[in-house]
Structure 1
Amino acid sequence: MHYLSTLSLIAIASFTKLVYCGVSTEDNVCMVPVEKEEIQLERYIQSVPYKTTVLCPDISKGFKCSMTKYGEKIAYRNVPKIVTIYVKQCCDGYTNASNDKCIPVCNPSCENGNCTAPNHCTCEPGYAGPSCAITCLKGFWGSSCRAKCECLHEASCDPISGICFCPPGYHGKHCEKPCNDKTWGPNCRFRCLCGNNSTCNPIDGSCKCSPGFSGSLCLEECVEVRVIPQVSMDPTVYTIVNVKMVRIATKKMVVVCVLLDFQLVIIPNFFGLFESFVNNTGRFCENKCQKGYYGINCTSKCFCYNENECDQITGECHCIGFTGKHCEQPCPKGTFGKEFVHLIALDQIARTNALAIQCHPTIGSCSCRAGYTGAGCNSLCPTSYYGENCENKCDCNLNTGSQCDPVTGQCICAAGYQGIRCDDKCPEGLFGKHCESKCNCKNGASCDHRYGVCNCTVGWRGPQCNLPCWAGYAGAGCKLCNCKNNAGCDPLTGECICRAGWTGKSCEMPCDKVRPPLMCPKNMDVGDVL
């Protein structure tokens, strides 16, 4: 039984082809052993026949018979021999470039970066992932998205440069500074238009008017009624033409009101001095004209378009964001505000990259096209959002590294995934973008559904798992065998194949110390195949 086991072990040693790993001699260049057939002169012992006589019982031959015998002599002959020579070629994971240099190979290829080592991409700023196909998530930037944004107040940052995109109301390198009282909006880029020392909201630019003023920009002066005690006198009626403001000072307390016939009516028994504009109504001219009306007793209707207001005395339109007698024409492109005197640099930026639909004629903010946001419409929608004003939430499985189209909301699947939501892995045998690439793995190896990397079965290696393990390596991943004394090993199981004179699990024991001797193989030598 032991003898058969020994023969089996000898057979394994004789027919197992062991392959050496190339030795690197220069940049990514290896000396690789190549088997080659050569004709060599071989010395051998040749058998040579010769005639001689020997004693024999044949009396007719005189008891001497002729006989052919064989002798030996040294001879030479040409025989084919398999020899190993070493040639230069690119090491595993490298290929020969056009300039005869060995450059690394990445599978899959680097989409937004450079292949700097076998299957290792160095990504450009703003991208990450094994093939640099994934854009940085919100809050990260730089090469391979390793740098963390240092922006305050929930601001996002540029995935390439890390520059903070400040939200409305803040500015500064890290969005740490609030807008001053004269600016507002994202990064405090807009100039406040509030008049008469009114307060400007740093978020949306709306105005909080100072006492005595009103309107969207606090440009309209309020009408005040003041009563001042005086000495009384008898009531009198006066008539004044083209009255715009009346101020009557009398010795008696009176109230003055302007009527449609331009009469000043002194109302007796009311104590105090009264002053008023003609754009008031009421018994005592105490009511201001309602929005949309003007003139004496507020009986005339304003004729202004686009929600603009008119002068409550003359009826003249005060246009903001529009022009024309009745505010019927929008401001020229690139301008906004009252009488379109304000130019806006952000609108010019947005028009240059064609990402803005228009500049808001009143406050100057940009209306961005679908998929873009920011003061200048130069930022894509945040991750998970799309459409106009980035208001729609994407329905994509972003945990797979997939993305959402910022314009349409369509899911853009990462390599190795498919389906409407990018939930489904590529079928067996396919990989990559849209699962369109076919795996090319040999010897029963499986294929990574994302990048097509082969997961080799035991005893195999290489990008396609088509190379047996190196000599002295075995098993899954071609791990180093634990064999002593220059022993070989089975590339599948890792079992040590001892040279003559050695035995043991790791070939660590010399045969002369083995009892009984039959346990030690005597005629096995793997030196010829190593």
Structure 2
Amino acid sequence: MASVGWHWGWVTVALTALLARLASSLNLEDPNVCSHWESYSVTVQESYAHPFDQIYYTSCTNVLNWFKCTRHRVSYRTAYRRGEKTMYRRKEQCCPGFYESGEMCVPHCDEKCVHGRCVAPNTCQCEPGWGGADCSSACDSSHWGPHCSNRCQCKNSALCNPITGACICTPGYRGWRCEEDCEAGTYGNGCQQKCLCQNGASCHHITGECTCSPGYTGAFCEDLCPPGKHGRQCEERCPCQNGGVCHHVTGECSCPAGWTGMVCGQPCPEGRFGRNCSQECQCHNGATCDSATGQCFCSPGYIGER
């Protein structure tokens, strides 16, 4: 019965997560859909061992009770209770600069693209023969100035102002010719968005996506590697034994009291105890020393703390 209760509790959790996923109307394959994690609680049924007092009789020397004596013992039976479990689900919404249209996230331009279409936040793609920030000037995307006689020098797919020749950089680029990536810590349209990456992570100059430093994980690299993992992208397994704790970046083991070695696989040598086996046992008269606490175990014939 315990396994049945556990099973139905997790069925409830799975259905809740599935319904939350289906509730999103956005196409999750759309690269302009951003997401974040949110927590919620679900009720689950769990089993536990409930103790109760059981009385039984046994033979004894009590003549008054016909040689029967009462005994007590603690027995256990399976009981059930409700519990709260914290779950996490991904919530989707359009990225900054985009709005929801049907199942897609489409870009928003503050100014209407007169002879073109909005292909990125505040960025118009002009029809052939037109130019300008809002595609209202009759030049193609490669020329500018009087009679469109000057060839644009913009790089990285930047648009060219048909009147001044100034480059309108695509998200992720800057400079007079849009020849440079956004400087560190910024990304996106006009390099105006601040990177949210933490713990020394690098930020993609176009999307703002974080590339975590070794030892960190999460959308913004805000979390340490989970227990048992370390290194780049938290893909390396920790080798520590006997309760040793692995450093999330280097994988170096920090041993508990009583153990030593690269992977905490060796007990302290005789006469030493404590963390890193750094303390010397103070026991006398052939007593042995606990490698973790230093407590003395006296030889026959001796007492005392040491």
TM-score (norm 1): 0.32
Distance 1:194 1:437, change over 3 A: same
2:257 aligns to what? 415
CA distance in 2, matches of 1:392, 1:215: 40
- 5 Å matches for 1:438-453? 438-453=280-295
Q: Which residue of 1 aligns with 2:193?
A: 342
The Cα offsets for residues 427-481 of structure 1, whole Å up to 9 and x where unpaired, read as 22222222222222234332222222223345654432xxxxxxxxxxxxxxxxx
Partners of 2:182 and 2:200 lie apart in 1 by 16
* C-alpha contact 2:268 2:277 (8 A) present in aligned 1: yes
2:171 alignment counterpart: 320
Give me the identity figure in percent: 31
Equivalent residues in 2 for 1:386-397, closer than 5 Å: 386-397=230-241
1:437 pairs, out of 266, 274, 279, with 279
Q: Deviations over 1:408-429 (max 9, x none)?
A: 2222222222222221112222
Matching residue's letter, 2:189: K
Aligned to 2:91: 179
Give the secondary-structure state (helix, strand or coil) at the position aligned to 1:422: coil
Question: Partner of 1:379 in structure 2?
Answer: 223
Count of equivalent residues: 205
Matched letter for residue 290 of structure 2: D
Aligned residue for 1:169?
36
Paired amino acid for 1:170: W
Q: 2: distance between equivalents of 1:213 and 1:413?
A: 62
Highest Rg: 1 or 2? 1
Matches within 5 A, 1:55-454: 169-172=36-39, 174=86, 176=88, 178-182=90-94, 192-193=95-96, 195=98, 197=100, 243-244=129-130, 303-305=154-156, 309-311=157-159, 316=167, 318-344=169-195, 346-347=196-197, 350=198, 355-397=199-241, 400-454=242-296
What secondary structure, in the 3-state scheme, does the structure 2 residue paired with 1:197 have? strand
**1:220-250: per-residue Cα shift (whole Å, max 9, x none)?**
6697xxxxxxxxxxxxxxxxxx9449xxxxx
Q: Which runs of 5+ in 1 are unaligned?
A: 1-151, 154-167, 183-191, 201-206, 224-241, 246-276, 280-292, 465-530
Give unmatched runs, 5+ long, in structure 2.
1-15, 18-34, 41-85, 108-115, 132-137, 144-150
Post-superposition CA distance 1:44-80 (Å, at most 9, x none): xxxxxxxxxxxxxxxxxxxxxxxxxxxxxxxxxxxxx
Contact 1:331 1:361 in 2 (8 A): yes
Map 1:21-40 → 2, pairs under 5 A: none
TM-score, normalising length from structure 2?
Answer: 0.51
Query: What is the RMSD computed on CA atoms of the aligned residues?
Result: 4.4
